[in-house]
Amino acid sequence: MTKAERTRRYIIEKAAPIINRKGMAGTSISDIMEATQLAKGGVYGNFESKEEICAEALDYLLRKVSAAIEAKLATKHSYGDKLFALLDYYKGSLKIPGFSGCPLLNFGTEADDTNPLIKQKVSKAIAYSQQRIASMISAGIAAGEFAKELDAGLFALKAFAMIEGALWMSHVQGNNRQLRIVTDLLKKEIMAHSL
């Protein structure tokens, strides 16, 4: 990795949590300069615009969340256990140091009508998140863990929407009550379709 690549990565690692917390519009270059201890030229010498920093910050946050989820899933062998581990990851996300809400919600809400690039990245991440759930359901059905009437795509859509809504409510209200309720409901549904 070159020095320029290391500097870019450093800027993104420092800027991403700030942008996730304050929003793209609410984060100034001064915020990024303060976090990185770089001058304006040091930041703009590595990025063409704040929009480029925001786009790479979103990619960084999504990779970080995905890696944490995959690490949880890798410790489980059955598809039911993997789904429970995924739900437990989300239920515990409010306890993660520096958690400022789901990047998909934070970036997606702000970019919905204003930033086509970010909107497209969020859209792809939503599709990937739902597909991860649907794939586990489908594989579980094929392995004989779940009943065939469990609709993988429908469950994935419902689970994702419920989790994201509960993440938002829990973050705003400062407790994980909603997340506990939603993950428990989804676990009950999984168990009801388990063979």
CATH number of the domain where residue 66 is located: 1.10.357.10
* Residue 93 pLDDT: 80
State yes or no: pLDDT of 101 exceeds 90: no
- pLDDT band at residue 175 using 50, 70 and 90 as cut-offs: confident
Please report whether residue 16 resides in a domain. no
- Count of domains for the chain: 1
Mean pLDDT on 62-89: 95
pLDDT of residue 97 exceeding 70: no
How far does Cα 161 stand from its chain's mean position? 13
pLDDT tens profile 27-64: 999 999 999 999 999 999 999 999 999 999 999 999 99
- Does residue 76 belong to any structural domain of this protein? yes
Global pTM reads 0.91
Backbone dihedral region for residue 174 (phi beyond 0: left; psi -120 to 50: alpha; all else: beta):
left
Domain that holds residue 140: 55-192
| Residue 149 located in a structural domain | yes
User: Is 92 a domain residue?
Assistant: yes
Decide if 25 is inside a domain. Answer: no
In a domain, 158, yes or no: yes
